Amino acid sequence: MLQHSQVKGPGIGLLGISKGGDLCISMASFLKGITATVIINGSVANVGAVLRYKDITIPPLGINQKRIKIDKSGIADIVDVLNNPLEGADRQSFIPLEKAEGHFLFIVGKDDHNWKSEFFATEASNRLQAHGKEKPAIVCYPGAGHYIEPPFSPMCSASMHVVGNPVIWGGEPKAHSVAQVDAWQKIQAFFHKHLSGKQCVTGKL
């Protein structure tokens, strides 16, 4: 990426949502030159499949499908499906983000029904600080669901999921829309600050 003509450098910024969030955390943890990483409702544990990098293997966080709740219309609520990455063998799935050299911003929808994003962001902060690293920025939005997309995108309250069922993503329309606008400003401010060294006029972080 640093060799690309449209990449200014000297660092790289990453932005990931949902599963893309834990992939970005993994990249920031293992690759050089990652200066700023934004995670929108992502996990701090590896989710879904085994992650391999050189001689490192990180197993996926365990799940328990018995914790899926199905409503009258057949839509699943999977917020409790994932195991706790702080317990037992599932601790091996925790991504070693303390190895990262850059800065983190966690965007959290407090009504996320895909997984417990606020818990993941808090544990990421705890782990970073326990290793003497900078406390990450965490911005929480009450009433916002899982997919906090760019401003004015239609809110996706439910859709099909890789689990094979339609699932609820959470969110209340007005609060979610407000979160989209504010989060986008804060994301831009974060990247301006840590990639260009310039303060963005709006969305100060």
Q: For residue 196, name the pLDDT band (cuts at 50, 70, 90).
A: confident
- CA–CA dist 130, 22 (Å, integer): 20
Q: Report residue 118 as tokens.
A: 């606020």
By CB neighbour count within 10 A (0-12 exposed, 13-18 middle, 19+ buried), where does 24 fall?
buried
Q: Beta 12-17 vs 34-40: how paired, if at all?
A: parallel
Active site residue 71: no
Cβ 168 vs Cβ 160: under 8 Å = no
Q: What is the pLDDT of residues 15-59, one digit of tens each?
A: 999 999 999 999 999 999 999 999 999 999 999 999 999 999 999
Active site residue 103: no
Active site residue 153: no
**Active-site entry in 103, 113, 146, 176:** 146
**Active-site entry in 22, 77, 90, 112:** 112
- CA–CA dist 115, 41 (Å, integer): 8
The domains of the chain are located at 12-196
> Over the Cα atoms of the chain, what is R_g?
17
**Amino acid code (one letter) for 44:** V
With tokens 């990247």, the residue in question is: 191
Q: Is pLDDT of 201 > 60?
A: no
Q: How many Cα atoms within 13 Å fall on the side-chain side of residue 87? A: 5
pLDDT at 200: 55
**Active-site entry in 18, 26, 43, 117:** 18
Q: How many Cα atoms within 13 Å fall on the side-chain side of residue 42? A: 27
Range 12-196: architecture per CATH:
3-Layer(aba) Sandwich (3.40)
Report the candidate in 49, 41, 46, 162 with the shortest Cα–Cα distance to residue 112.
41
Averaged pLDDT, 50-74: 94
Q: Output the CA torsion 144→145→146→150 (10° steps).
A: -50
Cβ 143 vs Cβ 111: under 8 Å = yes
- CA–CA dist 84, 105 (Å, integer): 22
- CA–CA dist 74, 45 (Å, integer): 28
